[in-house]
Structure 1
């Protein structure tokens, strides 16, 4: 009996020592906040900035309001980066007593945005007028100009705008309209006309009117 108690005591002591030597799991911290920068003398949020943990090769990014949230450990380094702004690396304090840590992280401008510059082939309007009057107008140019301002062509263009090629502004507007339609159904399946009650109503109406009947040859 004494041998059994001694063996049991030794086993319990061994397990207790092994359990005490196990490293304590690191305490996780919910690190969140807002990223801001100065623009025209006022502080504005920085959307879609990268928030990464270089030591673990993972991270996240801020939303369109500049808000971010990521799980970190005490003493871990967090890197903030964004195009046009200086990259900043901060260290999570190792003296935190709570499992949440919030900050407002400012970032400074890294580059300067120059104003728009438009380059013209002539130094001034006066030079353009001189060059325009001196331009050699060939018969082919005269013919095209006459066709473009002909009443018949303009009337047809008003009825069918697609026959007139788009300019830069019209092409940009068309592209933006296409993008806006795609964003409406982002993350979901676009609706199909086969499930549209309006499309079915038009189909039955055309069917009753006999538009799908084959015409007999005379």
Structure 2
């Protein structure tokens, strides 16, 4: 029995030595595809490099890659949103081509909250805050609102310039072309016009204004 085990062990060692001698030692074409682990979808634009070197490639839109490597090289796979992966090319290859389906696991990164201010430093923010002019009473706020109301009234009553008159003329012509060849529409039967009239009447737009 011991003699049989000794002979069997020697045969295994000789077989392993024979395989090692027949292993391919030159450059190989390393190809494959990168997919996700949950849905097996292709992962595009994965950075694939040989560790401790500057050689590698990037997977295309369909996750496919292909480049030249050597047996026993450690290949590093990295992509945004995925954990880094490594793969060692076997040193017992018998051909100059090797293919791989690399599965990438998703990685969740929690970033801290970032608040963006228009001031470069805290001192500038403090200075801008202290120099901020805020009305300190109701009278000042009322004056400010009245100034806005006066500006709005002046804007409404301001006569139009040449560009405004041109636009008004073009709109009038377009309205005439809309009813060309037929009787013009009567606003008395237009419910939208009646609604606008009632709103204007409730606002007091038709009240007589005394001139100072």
TM-score range, shorter chain: 0.3 to 0.5
State the TM-score, normalized to the length of structure 1: 0.41
Q: Which has the larger radius of gyration?
A: 2
Q: Which has the higher strand share?
A: 1
State the TM-score, normalized to the length of structure 2: 0.42
Higher relative CO (CA 8 A, sep ≥ 6), structure 1 or 2? 2
